[in-house]
Amino acid sequence: MTTTIPPRQDTFNMKTQISLAAAAITLLLSACGGSGIPSQPKGEISENRTAAFKSMMPEFTRMGKMVKDEEPYDVEKFKQAAASFAESSKKPFTLFESDPQGNGRALPAVWSDGAKFEAEKTKFAAAVEKLNAAAQTGKLDEIKAAYGETGASCKSCHDSFRAPE
């Protein structure tokens, strides 16, 4: 005699519970990520601002490779990169007007919390000036500290005022 085991009655309930739990976890994780505000389309002002920020990166990257010992430290090349970075770092901040066609990854807090944004700009400008001054001395220990401060300033502003990708 063969005995058949009937299917468990709670299989449907278990699958439903797993699906609901997965949906809840997904919702929770999406709520925790970044600001929760997706990036917007970009208008011309926003595109120009992004281009200005990207134009700073070759010098910062070049300096970073020397600071991290990925390339030999060359005093003159570092001085030139720091001076160029100090100059190019000013331009993006002249382009922070709200773009009616879309602000890309710039969060509304840039304009709604102007005092905090201005404080971040001031902190960044001071860090860049310190980096440039350290670079002109050629003292690698001072340069490394100033480079780290500049990077931390970038991150601080991005954490508060830039939407995740």
d(C-alpha 69, C-alpha 143), whole Å:
13
Residues 54 and 92: beta-carbon distance below 8 Å: no
**72 among the known binding-site residues?**
no
* The residue count for the chain: 165
**32 among the known binding-site residues?**
no
Residues 102 and 46: beta-carbon distance below 8 Å: yes
Annotated binding site: 154, 157-158
Annotated binding site for heme c: 154, 157-158
